[in-house]
Amino acid sequence: MNKKYAILVVDMLNDFVTGALGCDNARAIVKPTQELLEEARKNNVPVIFCNDSHLKGIDKELDFWGDHAIRGTKGADVIPELPISEKDYVILKRRYSAFFQTDLDLLLKELGVTTVVITGLHTHMCCRHTAADAFQNNYEVIFANEATNAFTKEDYEYGLKYAKETYGAPNYTNKELFDLFSK
Ligand code: ZN
């Protein structure tokens, strides 16, 4: 069966890059992510933004992390460096996984996607939980190793290692992904 890819851009939001939970490691992946999305759109690979959109005072996750990406605030918007194009899709999530109680699975099925390429923040957390549900819903999972990151190098490396060992997910450079998209 021919493979059909989609890029999942997890939580590249103001609060995660420059705001409440921002860090240098998040800012370091902006450029490679721009390059990857540009190449994806050129090759008609769907780009799906998977964005935290929390309800203040409601979402349990906020007790643990403090307020971030509150629905309707600027912190919950995708960073200006990654403008959403007309052809892109946006999924709003209230938990770590972009599949949990969202219509991501339905969208991927309608698009005929076989393989999700996971990018964004953080490798060992929202990316990892999204990878778990992708795997459990029978999608092949790939991590874009230049376009995902975590608070620390250890968390990043742990996330990639866990994904490989648990979901059989390889991690590829942008160059390797460009080659896959253009096949
Ligand atoms: Zn969150």
Q: For 160-174, what is each residue's pLDDT tens digit? A: 999 999 999 999 999
Residues 43-51, mean pLDDT to the nearest whole number:
98
What's the pLDDT at 1?
65
Distance separating alpha carbons of residues 113 and 115, to the nearest angstrom: 6
**Dihedral sign for Cα atoms in the order 175, 171, 155, 147:** positive
Ligand 1 centre to CA of 175 (Å) is: 30
Q: 5-181 in CATH: which number?
A: 3.40.50.850
54 CA distance to ligand 1 centroid (A)?
7
Confidence at residue 141, expressed as pLDDT on a 0 to 100 scale: 98
Identify the pLDDT of residue 66: 94
Q: Mind listing the pLDDT tens digit for each residue in 60-106?
A: 999 999 999 999 999 999 999 999 999 999 999 999 999 999 999 99
The domain segmentation of the chain, as residue ranges, is 5-181
Q: Is 89 helix (H, G, I), strand (E, B) or coil?
A: strand
User: How far apart are the CA of 66 and the centre of ligand 1, in A?
Assistant: 9
Of residues 158, 87, 72, the one with CA closest to residue 122: 158
Rounded to a whole number, what is the largest CA-CA distance in the chain? 47
What's the confidence (pLDDT) of residue 6?
A: 98
Q: Please compute the mean of the pLDDT values over residues 26-46 and round it to a whole number.
A: 98
CA of 150 to the centre of ligand 1 (A): 14
How large a percentage of the chain has pLDDT more than 70? 99
Q: Are 169 and 30 in contact (CB under 8 A)?
A: no
What's the burial of 106, exposed, middle or buried (CB within 10 Å: 0-12/13-18/19+)?
A: exposed
The rounded Å distance from CA 73 to ligand 1 centre is 14
Burial (CB count <10 Å: 0-12, 13-18, 19+), residue 180: middle
Per residue in 108-158, pLDDT (tens digit) is 999 999 999 999 999 999 999 999 999 999 999 999 999 999 999 999 999
pLDDT at res. 38: 97
176 C-alpha to center of ligand 1: Å? 30
Instruction: Quote the ligand 1 centre to 51 CA distance (angstroms).
Output: 9
Distance 94 CA to ligand 1 centre (A): 7
